[in-house]
Amino acid sequence: MQRDRYTRLIAWLKVLFPLAALGLLSTLFLLSRAIDPGQAIPFAEKDVQDRLRDQQITGPFFTGATADGDELSFYADVLTRPDGQTGMNHAENLRATIKTPEGSTFRLQSDLADFDIAKDVADLLGGVVLTTSTGYRLQSDKITSDLSGLNIQSPGTVYGTAPGGTLEAGAMSITQTDDQASPQLVFTNRVKLIYKPKPKSE
Mark whether 86 and 139 lie in a shared domain: yes
Backbone angles phi, psi at 54, to 5 degrees: -85, -10
Mark whether 79 and 172 lie in a shared domain: yes
Q: How far is CA 19 from CA 8, 13, 22, 24, 96, in A?
A: 17, 10, 5, 9, 69
Mark whether 10 and 82 lie in a shared domain: no
Report helix, strand or coil for 156: coil
Question: How far is 34 from 37, CA to CA, in rounded Å?
Answer: 9
Question: How far is 191 from 103, CA to CA, in rounded Å?
Answer: 27
Mark whether 97 and 26 lie in a shared domain: no
Question: How far is 96 from 119, CA to CA, in rounded Å?
Answer: 19
What lies within 8 Å, CB to CB, of 170 at 6+ separation is 156, 157, 188, 189, 190, 191
Evaluate whether residue 201 is within a structural domain. no
Evaluate whether residue 26 is within a structural domain. yes
Note the Cα 64 to chain centre separation in Å: 19
In the prediction, which pLDDT does 2 show? 52
Give the CATH number of the domain where residue 164 resides: 2.60.450.10
Provide the terminal-to-terminal Cα distance of the chain, rounded to the nearest Å. Answer: 108
In the prediction, which pLDDT does 201 show? 60
In the prediction, which pLDDT does 172 show? 96
Evaluate whether residue 43 is within a structural domain. no
In the prediction, which pLDDT does 140 show? 96
Mark whether 173 and 96 lie in a shared domain: yes
Mark whether 19 and 116 lie in a shared domain: no
Q: Which residues pair with 95 in a beta bridge?
A: 75, 109
Q: pTM of the predicted model, to two decimals?
A: 0.68
In the prediction, which pLDDT does 182 show? 80
Evaluate whether residue 107 is within a structural domain. yes
Mark whether 88 and 144 lie in a shared domain: yes
Where the chain has pLDDT below 50, the residues are 13, 15-16, 19-46, 48-49, 52, 202
Question: For the chain, how many structural domains are there in total?
Answer: 2
Evaluate whether residue 40 is within a structural domain. no
Question: How far is 66 from 104, CA to CA, in rounded Å?
Answer: 15
- Condensed to tens digits (0 to 9), the pLDDT of residues 73-121 reads 989 999 888 776 777 889 999 999 999 988 899 999 999 999 998 888 9
Closest CA to 77 of 92, 62, 95, 99: 92
Mark whether 16 and 102 lie in a shared domain: no
Evaluate whether residue 17 is within a structural domain. yes
Evaluate whether residue 134 is within a structural domain. yes
The domain containing residue 8 runs over which residues?
Answer: 2-35
